[in-house]
Amino acid sequence: MGFRIAVAGATGNVGREIVQVLDERRFPVDDLVALASERSAGTMISFGEHDIRVQDLAGFDFAGIDLVLSATATEVATEHMPRAAKAGAVVVDHSDAFRMEPDVPLVVPEVNGAALARFAKRRIVASPSAMATICALALKPLHDLAGLRRAVVTAMESVSGAGKPAMDELFAQTRAVYVNQPIEREEFPKQIAFNLIPHVDAFMQDGFTREEWRLQAEARKLLGPDIRMVATCVRAPVFVGHAASVVAEFEREIDEQAARRAWRGWLGGEAVGLVDHRVDEGYVTPVEVVGEDKVYVSRVRRDPTSATGLAFWCVGDNLRKGAALNVVQIAELLAQEHLGRG
Ligand SMILES: NC(=O)c1ccc[n+]([C@@H]2O[C@H](COP(=O)([O-])OP(=O)(O)OC[C@H]3O[C@@H](n4cnc5c(N)ncnc54)[C@H](OP(=O)(O)O)[C@@H]3O)[C@@H](O)[C@H]2O)c1
């Protein structure tokens, strides 16, 4: 027997990818319901060979739904996901509505799959921000080997991380530059085409942005509370693919060769790929990871300023492993280990 699944935010960047990944991975779906705002109600989305009519999330009754995979805005998730859980569904939510709540597990299956066992109290599981997932995957094998103490992260985040309208804005501005028309801005605080913006999400009192705070806090929830991280998040004029420069310090000495072995040997190379040749093209860039499930690590080198430091570059598809794939992998683990099916 399969599952009755509702995808909330099914018309968005992440939601559309969730529907595709469910089909690709042959998740046991008996029935799939697509939910979005009233603006999209009545439009159609494809699930494999089926066309599914989108319904309005606000008026949807979750009774009889087993699993809700949700990728909507924080306020929308805050309003509707507890309602879904109360109706008996288990929710896997990709917004930041519940990520830091102590009784909601925040899960990347390869990093802390055991945390999923705590889903039962709220019936909600949170999936981390794309950048936190990518960094946690790259850091986990090194953390297991040498004990991660501190990381300085400069994140370069693609516009798809800000949703569909943000992708349209990069496209429109790029075109406007070429045809010498005025640049119009709505989604980003400054011009994004041919530029870099060191400002992702709102500023907080201490000068960090919410995205930086999220990355730091989520990394601790995923990897361990003693880890210290300081992040700078920059929006880059890239459609899909988030990257980061990471400088990490460990409790024990770790050399480049040991780090390479740790990455290569971790989970049979399924989750992290190492591409690190010190020649032209010997590293991975965002456009090359589009559609890829793995996170890639390149540019590995000793940090000459620290006896236990290592610097590297990591990159992943923010819509796949950074979002939709992680949500579906959480659902697979729930199905196999906790819901007795799948
Ligand atoms: N993209 C990424 O890399 C990424 C990474 C990490 C986290 N996230 C998070 O994932 C969530 C979704 O992101 P996204 O990039 O997929 O956004 P998106 O492309 O803008 O899609 C948003 C989805 O939410 C729906 N929605 C908006 N307002 C709604 C309402 N009032 N009621 C019901 N549904 C509503 C939209 O439906 P309509 O089409 O009807 O408007 C659409 O299906 C966000 O919380 C985002 O922060 C995204």
Tens digits of per-residue pLDDT, 33-86? 999 999 999 999 999 999 999 999 999 999 999 999 999 999 999 999 999 999
Q: Do residues 305 and 162 both lie within one domain?
A: yes
Q: SS3 for 22?
A: helix
| 187 and 108 together in one domain | no
pLDDT of amino acid 340: 77
Please indicate, yes or no, whether residues 289 and 220 belong to a single structural domain of this protein: yes
CATH of the domain at 45: 3.40.50.720
Q: Is 299 in the pocket of ligand 1 (CB under 6 A)?
A: no
pLDDT category, 342, cuts 50, 70, 90? Answer: low
Q: Are residues 114 and 148 in the same domain?
A: no
CATH value at residue 171: 3.30.360.10
Predicted TM-score (pTM) of the model is 0.96
Atom of ligand 1 nearest to the CA of 15: 16
CA atoms within 13 A on the CB side of 89: 28
Query: Which tens digits make up the pLDDT trace of 130-163?
Result: 999 999 999 999 999 999 999 999 999 999 999 9
Q: Using H for helix, E for strand and C for coil, what is the string for 47-101? A: ECCEEEEEEEHHHCCCCCCCEEEECCCHHHHHHHHHHHHHCCCEEEECCCCCCCC
Ligand 1 atom 22: the closest Cα is on which residue?
12
12 lines ligand 1 (CB under 6 A): yes
Sign of CA dihedral 322, 323, 327, 332: negative
Report the percent of the chain where pLDDT is more than 70: 99
Please check whether residues 113 and 157 belong to one and the same domain: no
Q: How far is the CA of 235 from the centre of ligand 1 (A)?
A: 18
Cα(157) to ligand 1 centroid in Å equals 17
Q: How many domains does the chain have?
A: 2
Instruction: Quote the ligand 1 centre to 310 CA distance (angstroms).
Output: 36
**pLDDT of 304 strictly over 70:** yes
Check pLDDT > 80 for residue 295: yes
Amino acid identity for residue 128 in this structure: P
Q: Does residue 194 sit in the same domain as residue 276?
A: yes
Average pLDDT over residues 184-211: 98
Residue with the smallest CA separation from ligand 1 atom 1 is: 161
- Smallest CA-to-CA distance from 239 within 340, 154, 157, 120 is with 157
Q: What per-residue confidence (pLDDT) applies to 1?
A: 80
The DSSP H or E segment spanning 157 is strand 148-157
Domain that holds residue 294: 131-318
Secondary structure of the chain in the HEC alphabet?
CCEEEEEECCCCHHHHHHHHHHHHCCCCEEEEEEEECCCCCCCEEEECCEEEEEEEHHHCCCCCCCEEEECCCHHHHHHHHHHHHHCCCEEEECCCCCCCCCCCCECCHHHHHHHHHHHCCCCEEECCCHHHHHHHHHHHHHHHHHCEEEEEEEEEECHHHHCHHHHHHHHHHHHHHHCCCCCCCCCCCCCCCCCCECCCCCECCCCCEHHHHHHHHHHHHHHCCCCEEEEEEEECCCCCCEEEEEEEEECCCCCHHHHHHHHHHHHHHCCEEECCCCCCCCCCCHHHHCCCCCEEEEEEEECCCCCCEEEEEEEECCCHHHHHHHHHHHHHHHHHHHCCCC
pLDDT at 214: 97
Q: Give yes or no for a contact between 106 and 218, defined as CB atoms under 8 angstroms apart.
A: yes
Whether 296 and 272 have beta carbons less than 8 Å apart is answered as yes
Quick one: 276 and 164 in the same domain?
A: yes
Q: Do 299 and 211 share a domain, yes or no?
A: yes
Per-residue pLDDT tens digits for 268-292: 999 999 999 999 999 999 999 999 9
Digit-coded pLDDT (tens) for 81-103: 999 999 999 999 999 999 999 99
**What is the per-residue pLDDT for 36?**
98
Residue 9 and residue 85 share a domain = yes
What percent of the chain has a predicted confidence (pLDDT) above 90? 98
Residues 272, 333, single domain; the answer is no
Query: Residues 158, 299: one domain?
Result: yes
Query: Is the CB of 187 within 6 Å of ligand 1?
Result: no
Same domain (yes/no): 138, 238: yes
Q: Which atom of ligand 1 is nearest to the CA of 166?
A: 20
Q: Which atom of ligand 1 is nearest to the CA of 75?
A: 31
